[in-house]
Structure 1
Amino acid sequence: MTTEDADADAASKHVLQQLSDTVYACSSLSPLSSRPGNFVYRGVLVHPLSAKDEDPIRTVIIKHCTTSTSEDAPDHIASRADGPNFEELLLNSIAHFSPLTDPSILIKVPRLNLLDEASNIQVLEDFIDTTGLKSMLLSPEASNLLPSSLEAIGFALGSWLRAFHMWAAAPEQAALRAQMWQSDPMRKTKYLFTYHGFLKVLEMHPEVLEGHREILEKIRDTISKEYGRPSTEDDENLGLIHGDFWSGNILLPATPWREPPLLDVPNKLFIIDWEFAQFGHRSNDIGQLIGDLYERKLYGNVETVAPVMEGAIRGYGELSEEMAFRIAIYVGVHLIGWYNRRPRKGPKVVPSHVILEGLTIGRDFIIKGWEKDRKYFENSALTSLFRRA
């Protein structure tokens, strides 16, 4: 047994033991994902729990973190100095957030059922019989969805995200925001995964970087200083953000999305994984969603993402020109960052000429966004972004 396997085995036994005397005692745990020091399971409850107007609750999602300080956290994965307290406050607060007035769409976040701070264990609502938006878009069945349905999914996500940003900026959430202003390490982690690394990728492709290093270094350094400043509310574009808003953290029921919906049966979406929530630039959220979708078209030739992307931009609504350019910069950074996430072997390996094309587009999005070259973007894949500005 490897050290990693031994750690995983010890973690699952610890979780089972810690929950054994609670109503969330589990007969078994199924690993869903893990990275060193962080484990996510689906637990089968020993005793199903009754739920108002719903079927009994038979499974839960369990998250367990064994690293408690940013120094211990591997791969620059930071954890908050105050443990999971902020996520508890956020999830409990957002449980009362119902932004969309359209009765045909229901968007939910997971309910936090139990928080064991001493053991770093969270028990969360399990959205059963769901699939990730990412998996859905990549599946053969995606082509059976009408473009109007795909655009409606994007529109619902964009509308929800805009409403969430506005809800988080309201006076009622002042205490929630204040929690994030205390040297939040998730901002550092977000920076390390995005703006910190894009230039290193381009350095491995000098034909893309040649003639552009100086301006790209200036952009990186300027945004690095922004991340290093203490959080304040002086900038209207800063606020509480999800921090990891991509298609893998968006779930849909296994039942097909219907457009128009069936009578009294709303279409549903679920937004999960709030660990990266932070006080940051709102362009990070909408930019990550757009970048994630466009990445799949650019590098994977997945055409079904286009109407989702258009719908998300339309749903998010009117943008200032400054915000539109900042979103474009983030999308460019995201497209370059794909290189570190790319498939290394197997049938999904991307040809080198496609990689270079994607990196070049990412580079140009960053530079043209910084230079506020609106004419360039009006003839780009982000043209609809600038119709909203």
Structure 2
Amino acid sequence: MEKPADTSGDILHSLQDTPYACSSVEELCGGSGNATYRGKLSKSLHDGADTVIIKHCEETCPKVPHLALSTNRCITEREILTAIQESPAGRVSHKDVVVKCPRIHHYIPHEKTLILEDFPHDSTLHDWLSNTDADRDATTLAALGEALGTWLMRFHVWSESAAGSLSGAVLANTNSTGKDLNRTKLQAVKRQCDDKKVRDYAADLLSSAPKPGDVVVHGEFSTRNILIQSSLNNPDRPPNCSLAIIGWETACYDLFTRDVASMIAGLYMQKHFSGSESAMTVLQAFVANYPALSEEEAYRTVAQVGENLFHWGAYAPETHTEEQVQTIVEYGKALIIMGMEEDREGVLGTFLRCLLEPAARLDV
């Protein structure tokens, strides 16, 4: 297989004549199809920042060498992050929580390389919530969930109105990266479930073309794509949290419930695999602060949450048990059937009752 062109030396060379010249770079984990680095700037930026994130879009994935990846995702990420800065979703403040998106500093089109704002952070929100040894304040956890619900609502409202101006890049990404991602998800369902109804419904859910009513969605909206910086453990500073929404290369056209379901499923899996009650507190507050869904939207979300549970591998720690896997897969199957059949009584018997009965949001 051909070796990727961008080594750390290539990165340093490509930036040497820009304001983002770096004295060194450190390779990071940036997804299966990206070579991602943190660059130490030779000269600090006007805002005092002395590091940037360098994200190079690869056409192949080392884990799946036979899979060709479209570089449309780099263009899509650039266009969305550029447009979102001036939108109501560019920065959202809620109580002591600020939710932001990284700025694009620079773009090298022939190399498909983005230079992005670097956020000082403690960890991903996923890792932060999975640390069950830490003492997490319920009020702060609720504020985090509320802030994410508010941010997602503002993003979806904006993305619906901005869909036209972003249509070229997002449609291309929907037909390339979006299809690749959905194909992988469908294979996960088929591999773990032999129920024809579930498999057929998942195929319909994951194979539909863009249609009226679709908005621009993040595509992989989960705690794994959110960075958190918190001062909660610093007694010399007032308590506050800053969240950064990253991982925009999967943005595509879809129904807005895709993002809602992705976040809910991820938080629930953190509870299931890591015993994180903190994740459930965030989940409750997230649902409570996102606009109430119609019954049709709620049932679709239930089914989409179920479909997401088949992708447990990204959330399960190495210490997970086979019993945990079997339980989450069976629950995913059950939720798909409940959503597909609009089984109200069934849904009301699950943690997703809050989607059908707003009053239940107080008792997740």
Q: TM (normalized to structure 1)?
A: 0.82
Q: Do 1:195 and 1:223's aligned partners in 2 also have CA atoms closer than 8 Å? A: no
Which residue is equivalent to 2:11?
15
Q: 1:156 to 1:187 in 2, by over 3 A?
A: same
Q: CA RMSD in A?
A: 2.8
Matched, 1:33 2:29: yes
Q: CA deviation at 1:257?
A: 8.6
Matched, 1:319 2:293: yes
Q: 1:358 aligns with which of 305, 322, 328?
A: 328
- Opposite residue 175 of structure 1, the aligned amino acid is S
| Mapped partners of 2:339, 2:68: distance in 1 | 29
- Opposite residue 152 of structure 2, the aligned amino acid is L
Which residue is equivalent to 1:206?
none
Which residue is equivalent to 2:362?
none
Matched, 1:223 2:205: yes
| Mapped partners of 1:251, 1:336: distance in 2 | 24
Matched, 1:57 2:54: no
Q: 1:173 to 1:358 in 2, by over 3 A?
A: closer
Q: 1:106 aligns with which of 89, 98, 105?
A: 98
Matched, 1:305 2:279: yes
SS of corresponding position for 2:270 = helix
Q: Do 1:149 and 1:257's aligned partners in 2 also have CA atoms closer than 8 Å? A: no
Q: Do 1:36 and 1:74's aligned partners in 2 also have CA atoms closer than 8 Å? A: no
Which residue is equivalent to 1:255?
231
Q: Do 1:319 and 1:388's aligned partners in 2 also have CA atoms closer than 8 Å? A: no
SS of corresponding position for 2:250 = coil
Which residue is equivalent to 2:126?
134
SS of corresponding position for 2:277 = coil
Q: 1:249 to 1:34 in 2, by over 3 A?
A: closer
| Mapped partners of 1:148, 1:187: distance in 2 | 36
What percent of counterpart residues are identical?
27
Q: CA deviation at 1:296?
A: 1.4
| Mapped partners of 1:34, 1:132: distance in 2 | 12
Matched, 1:291 2:293: no
Q: 1:58 to 1:287 in 2, by over 3 A?
A: same
Matched, 1:194 2:185: yes
**Alignment gaps of 5+ in structure 1:** 203-208
Matches within 5 A, 1:108-127: 108-127=100-119
Aligned residues: 353
Q: CA deviation at 1:109?
A: 0.3
**Alignment gaps of 5+ in structure 2:** 360-364
Q: CA deviation at 1:215?
A: 1.1
SS of corresponding position for 1:60 = strand
SS of corresponding position for 1:192 = helix
Q: Do 1:190 and 1:243's aligned partners in 2 also have CA atoms closer than 8 Å? A: no
Matched, 1:349 2:319: yes
SS of corresponding position for 1:279 = strand
SS of corresponding position for 1:174 = coil
Q: CA deviation at 1:354?
A: 2.4
| Mapped partners of 1:40, 1:339: distance in 2 | 22
Q: CA deviation at 1:104?
A: 4.3
Q: Do 1:147 and 1:307's aligned partners in 2 also have CA atoms closer than 8 Å? A: yes
| Mapped partners of 2:185, 2:117: distance in 1 | 30
- Opposite residue 202 of structure 2, the aligned amino acid is R
Q: CA deviation at 1:269?
A: 1.6
Q: 1:166 aligns with which of 136, 142, 157?
A: 157
Q: CA deviation at 1:25?
A: 0.8
Q: 1:38 to 1:103 in 2, by over 3 A?
A: same
Q: CA deviation at 1:283?
A: 1.7
Q: TM (normalized to structure 2)?
A: 0.88
- Opposite residue 164 of structure 1, the aligned amino acid is F
Which residue is equivalent to 1:239?
215
Q: Do 2:298 and 2:355's aligned partners in 1 also have CA atoms closer than 8 Å? A: yes
